[in-house]
Amino acid sequence: DTGVSQDPRHKITKRGQNVTFRCDPISEHNRLYWYRQTLGQGPEFLTYFQNEAQLEKSRLLSDRFSAERPKGSFSTLEIQRTEQGDSAMYLCASSQLAGVGGDTQYFGPGTRLTVL
Amino acid sequence: LAKTTQPISMDSYEGQEVNITCSHNNIATNDYITWYQQFPSQGPRFIIQGYKTKVTNEVASLFIPADRKSSTLSLPRVSLSDTAVYYCLGPRYTNAGKSTFGDGTTLTVKP
């Protein structure tokens, strides 16, 4: 399978704990995105990388959130001191920025976070 | 922030053609228009992308008028398995990668 993969698929944690999610993009893709999606809403942009550089962060991304893409391949999203409001599906997407054409993003299956 | 507008929900019957329209008044010159399909507990799946006029692939057609302020996703002969949420991906800031999803259109296909 050469699609975007995310790990874990489900995470249950207690309020105040730290959690880390991993995303493995499609291998030749240079852009990687993180989104958050709550029930009944569309995905909300959190941040994106072009290669290893984090180029944009949403205002939604508080200081408790940090994302890395150390070698321009996989990425991690860490949430520190989780709160119940962090409960959501966290989606990762990747794309290959080309000279022409739109930025077509391919999504992973998501990580469902539940904060108790 | 640039935003798209879609109908919240639509109903259809098996075998019918379904057209979902999205408004994106703030689209920039270099923006493409992309549509995604999402089933419960799954990530969005790319359906089709276009810049102007008409694009067709094996699952859908995309119609974009000359002013590009709207687009229409056309699904021919829908089946029960097409029941899903459909998102029109909004314009992004020029030179940035931020992509804005709206709340999507929930399509329910009935037998």
Q: What one-letter code names the amino acid at A113?
A: L
Per-residue pLDDT, B94: 39
Mean pLDDT of chain B: 88
Give contacts of B42 with chain A, Cβ < 8 Å. 109-110
Which of A96, A107, A112 should one mutate to test binding to chain B, selecting the residue with the greatest count of B CBs within 10 A?
A: A107
pLDDT tens string B31-46:
888 899 999 989 999 9
Q: Average pLDDT for residues A10-32, to the nearest whole number? A: 95
pLDDT tops 50 at residue A114 = yes
Q: What φ, ψ does residue A86 adopt, rounded to 5°?
A: -80, -10
pLDDT tops 90 at residue B14 = yes
CB contact under 8 A, B97 and A91: no
* DSSP-assigned states of every residue in A51-71: TTEEEEE-TT--TTEEEE-TT
Q: Average pLDDT for residues A90-115, to the nearest whole number? A: 87
CB contact under 8 A, A43 and B44: yes
Reported as a pLDDT band with limits 50, 70 and 90, residue B91 is: low
pLDDT tops 80 at residue A103 = no
How far is the alpha carbon of A17 from chain B, nearest alpha carbon, in Å? 24
Closest chain B residue to the Cα of A57, Cα to Cα: B98
Give contacts of B33 with chain A, Cβ < 8 Å. 102
Name residue, tokens 């944009």. A56
Which DSSP letter does residue A115 get? E
Give contacts of B106 with chain A, Cβ < 8 Å. none
How far is the alpha carbon of B54 from chain A, nearest alpha carbon, in Å? 15
Mean pLDDT of chain A: 91
pLDDT tens string B96-109:
456 678 789 999 99
Residue B63 at interface with chain A, using a CB cutoff of 8 Å: no
CB contact under 8 A, B51 and A107: no
pLDDT tens string B19-29:
999 998 878 77
Nearest 10 degrees: Cα torsion A19, A108, A84, A54? 60
The number of angstroms, rounded, from the C-alpha of A54 to the middle of its chain's C-alpha atoms is 12
Residues contacting residue B75 through CB under 8 Å, at least 6 positions apart = B17, B18, B19, B20, B59, B60, B82, B107
